[in-house]
Amino acid sequence: MSQETAGSGPENTQAPPRHFIHEIVASHVQSGRYAGRVGTRFPPEPNGYLHIGHAKSICLNFGLAREFGGTCNLRMDDTNPAREEVEYVESIIQDVNWLIQGWADPFLNLKQAGTSSGIGLLAKDKGNRTLEPFYASDYFGQIYDFALELIRKGKAYICDLSPEDTERYRGTPDRPGQDSPFRDRSVEENVDLFQRMKAGEFVDGARTLRAKIDMSSPNIWLRDPVLYRIRHVEHHHTGKAWCVYPMYDFAHCLSDYIEGITHSICTLEFEVHRPLYDWILESLSLPRELPKQYEFARLSLGYTLMSKRKLLQLVQEKTVIGWDDPRMPTISGLRRRGYTPESIRHFCELIGVTKYNGLTDMSLLEFAVREDLNKKSHRAMAVLHPIKVIIDNYPEGEVEWLEAVNNPEDPAAGHRKVPFSKEIYIERDDFMELPAKKFYRLFPGNEVRLRYAYILKCVSMEKDSEGNLLALRATLDPDSKSGGATAGRKIKATIHWVSAPHATRAEVRLYDRLFTVEEPDAADGGGYASHLNPKSLEVLSQCVLEPSLASASPGQRFQFERLGYFCADTKDSTPGAPVFNRTATLRDGWVKEQHKTV
RNA sequence: UGCCCGAUGGUGUAACGGUAGCACAGCAGACUCUGAAUCUGCUUGUCAUGGUUCAAAUCCAUGUCGGGCAGCCA
């Protein structure tokens, strides 16, 4: 184990997560299989942005490498050029680095740039070496040679069946398929045709290379699966070098073998592919110990989607502003929303790794961020729905700068000064003309404490001709300032406030779940589009913040006291004109109390 | 009605033949210059039926329910 190289933090002192895959790997290490070495990989297809489900896989694969002193390769699983783009490659690199930085980055295995056959994309610099991720497309030459070996061994053949006929011949799950009429071509003819496929002599779909296994197998994936197809499409990484591309099943196991992967971990839907994974590797004359595939259940989260295809649709149809919309379950969306990598990693630890297809509660993700942000974020006062309070017995023009604690969870965070004056804003919800049961904030005649300031009493209301509340008039107890003579008086509620003349105006964006039903994806649900939450985004443009927030830098996180955790938007916020995203609310006992009486 | 996989409180998980535990959520209380945090306590569970065993969540059988597989997608 080489945990000492993995930085510090709770993850380094706690026991690593235990689960069935962990046990398998641990037993292999113990028994000296693969010479005690552990090599995993995270193999996304660059056809979309990474989401929280990928984070689970990243944590699993990198966590194993980290614990056993192995390596985890970042590999683009890019065998289908029609759907893949460099933009996605770039986002994947960024998201993986962001997620594992300070935790498992020493175990991230990249390769030296320039050794690939394609158009290199630079990942990052480490020392003097320029590194880039692995690409399955870098192995197209080797994979092609392996295909030739299979053909020469009589284990693969060129099939001229049309896509429709291929499907027909395959049969159905409960009915065996039939042999292709081209199944018994000679090795020479197969080699010749395969070479001519590669040379570009045939149009898309004209022929395929197929494994010769068993058309009557109960496992569909063993019914002579297609290994290579013709696609006259330019590839984002290999350019125009190829017009035949290997299928996932053929490329993946071989990529694993080529990279020296020991444990190839994927999701449950590939379980039925495992016999094919093994068949391909065992059919070739491969000298080294073969990698093995293990499957776990992918993550499903309530009230959101995890399918890249559907997330892409939300982006394309402009339902959201982009892949990094803070409502998206993407890593970039969560990052923009204000989630920390630590909180996402902790979440992945909390959910565990099993073969059970469950539905995880959003509350667990929220718990993970709150827990992390509570420890780390500076507090500040912000009023989202302001109502003015004029303090009758406070001198006009006077300003006091009161001391406020930056983070009660972290004494080292220090203090700051917040200005107080005759006119302040408080939260509209902190006042009720006719107090509800158990409401102990401000109402006519009642006292509340103003955080870090005085005890305030509401004496009257100012309304317009239609009876709308315009402002409150109040008096304060001059001796009750924090630290003052009567400061110790027991007052049930403390509320936050912002001095009106000093307030910074800001836009604040409140986010809610994207969908109104727990499983927007459900087959019988009428389509996820019909379950979009119209209130998933609420933009508040008239918020008032304490002046220290005016200079917030993009990405900076705060707890707005009594409201929640907020993060200055990385795209739209500028010092002087801040825009904040709400990461998560604080738990709110008052909201629960209200639900009881309703 | 083919094959593969799975099933433990509301949710996610642990228990590897020997006291069903943890976390989230929920509820109640303590504390509180954040109705937050923190602390204390509580409710709720082994899919069913048989079998093996001194002993079964765990092993076996059958059934039920759920998921996956019929792309020249991954």
CA pair distance A105, A381, nearest whole angstrom: 36
CB A99 within 8 A of CB A58: yes
Structural tokens at position A554: 């993009």
From A308, A337, A441, A557, the catalytic residue = A308
Q: Which of A153, A142, A150, A159 is nearest to A202 (CA)?
A: A159
> Å between A447 CA and B14 C1'?
50
Query: In Å, how far are A61, A150, A473 from A267, measured between CA atoms?
Result: 12, 27, 62
In this complex, the nucleotide whose C1' atom is nearest to the CA atom of residue A267 is B68
Q: Are A551 and A575 in contact (CB under 8 A)?
A: yes
Contacts of A144 (CB under 8 A, 6+ apart): A198, A244, A246
Domain range summary for chain A, segments of one domain joined by +: 3-130+251-360, 141-246, 382-496
Report the DSSP beta bridge partners of residue A538: A510
Give dist(CA A274, CA A385) in Å, integer.
57
pLDDT tens sequence for chain A (598 residues): 333 333 444 565 567 889 999 999 999 999 999 999 999 999 999 999 999 999 999 999 999 999 999 999 999 999 999 999 999 999 999 999 999 999 999 999 999 886 655 544 455 555 566 789 999 999 999 999 999 999 999 999 999 999 999 999 999 999 999 999 999 999 999 999 999 999 999 999 999 999 999 999 999 999 999 999 999 999 999 999 999 999 999 999 999 999 999 999 999 999 999 999 999 999 999 999 999 999 999 999 999 999 999 999 999 999 999 999 999 999 999 999 999 999 999 999 999 999 999 999 999 999 999 999 999 999 999 999 999 999 999 999 999 999 999 999 999 999 999 999 999 999 999 999 999 999 999 999 999 999 999 999 999 999 999 999 999 999 999 999 988 888 889 999 999 999 999 999 999 999 999 999 999 988 776 788 899 999 999 999 999 999 999 999 999 999 999 999 999 999 999 988 999 999 999 999 999 998 876 5
Residue A15 DSSP code: P
- Residue keyed to tokens 């392996």: A146
User: Edge to edge, what strands does the sheet with A447-450 contain?
Assistant: A494-495, A447-450, A455-463, A469-477, A386-391, A423-427, A497-499
Q: Where are the extended beta strands (E) located within A3-153?
A: 39-42, 71-76, 108-109, 111-112, 124-126, 129-132, 134-135
- State how far the alpha carbon of A49 is from the alpha carbons of A149, A296, A307, A321, in Å: 36, 21, 11, 14
Q: What are phi and psi of A344, to 5 degrees?
A: -70, -40
Task: Identify, with chain letter, the residue nearest to nucleotide B13 (CA–C1').
Answer: A352
A571 is catalytic: no
What pLDDT is attached to residue A125?
Answer: 53
Q: What does the pLDDT read at residue A14?
A: 67
Name the amino acid, one letter, at A175: R
CA–CA distance, A241 with A117 (Å, rounded to integer): 9
Which is the catalytic residue, given A33, A37, A45, A371?
Answer: A45
The CATH superfamily of A382-496 is Ribosomal Protein L25; Chain P (2.40.240.10)
Dihedral pair phi/psi, residue A242, rounded to 5°: -130, 150
Give A372-417 pLDDT, tens digit per residue: 999 999 999 999 999 999 999 999 999 999 999 999 999 999 999 9
Residue nearest to nucleotide B66 (CA to C1'): A357
Q: Is the dihedral of CA A341, A347, A352, A354 positive or negative?
A: negative
* Whether the Cβ atoms of residue A432 and residue A593 lie closer than 8 Å to each other: no
Specify whether A519 is catalytic. Answer: no
Q: How many CB atoms within 10 Å of residue A473?
A: 15
Q: What is the DSSP letter of A428?
A: G
Strands A537-545 and A382-383: antiparallel
Does the domain made of A141-246 have the CATH classification 3.90.800.10? yes
- Residue nearest B7 (alpha carbon to C1'): A356
- C-alpha to C-alpha distance for A450 and A435, rounded to whole angstroms: 18
> A339 vs A249, A312, A365, CA distance in Å?
35, 21, 10
Å separating the CA of residue A592 from the C1' of nucleotide B5: 41
Rounded Cα distance between A568 and A504, Å, is: 14
A455-CA/B70-C1' distance, Å: 72
Those nucleotides of strand B lying less than 7 Å from any protein Cβ are: 1-8, 10-16, 23-27, 33-38, 66-74
A421 burial (CB, 10 Å; 0-12 / 13-18 / 19+) is middle
Measured from Cα to the C1' atom, the residue closest to B2 is: A174
Catalytic residue, candidates A33, A37, A83, A298: A298
> With contact defined as beta carbons under 8 Å apart, do A265 and A296 qualify?
yes
- DSSP string computed for A171-237: -BTTB-----TTTT--HHHHHHHHHHHHTT-S-TTS-EEEE-S-TT-SSGGGSS-EEEEE----BTT
Which nucleotide across the nucleic acid strands is nearest to A564, CA versus C1'?
A: B36
**Do A141-246 and A382-496 fold alike per CATH?**
no
Nucleotide nearest to A172 (CA to C1'): B70
User: What is residue A271's DSSP assignment?
Assistant: G
Cα A144 from Cα A146, distance rounded (Å) = 5
Q: For residue A308, indicate whether it is catalytic.
A: yes
Q: Residue A597 class from Cβ within 10 Å (0-12 exposed, 13-18 middle, 19+ buried)?
A: exposed
- How distant is C1' of B43 from CA of A427, in Å? 36
Helix ranges restricted to H, A260-361: 274-283, 308-316, 331-337, 341-351
Q: CB burial class (10 A; 0-12, 13-18, 19+) of residue A114?
A: exposed
Task: Determine contact, residues A348/A55, Cβ cutoff 8 Å.
Answer: yes
> CA A18 – C1' B18 distance (Å)?
23
Provide the CA A218 to C1' B62 distance, Å, integer: 23
Nearest nucleotide from residue A176 CA, by C1' atom: B2
Q: How far is CA A465 from the centre of its chain?
A: 51
Domain A3-130+251-360 falls under CATH 3.40.50.1110 = no
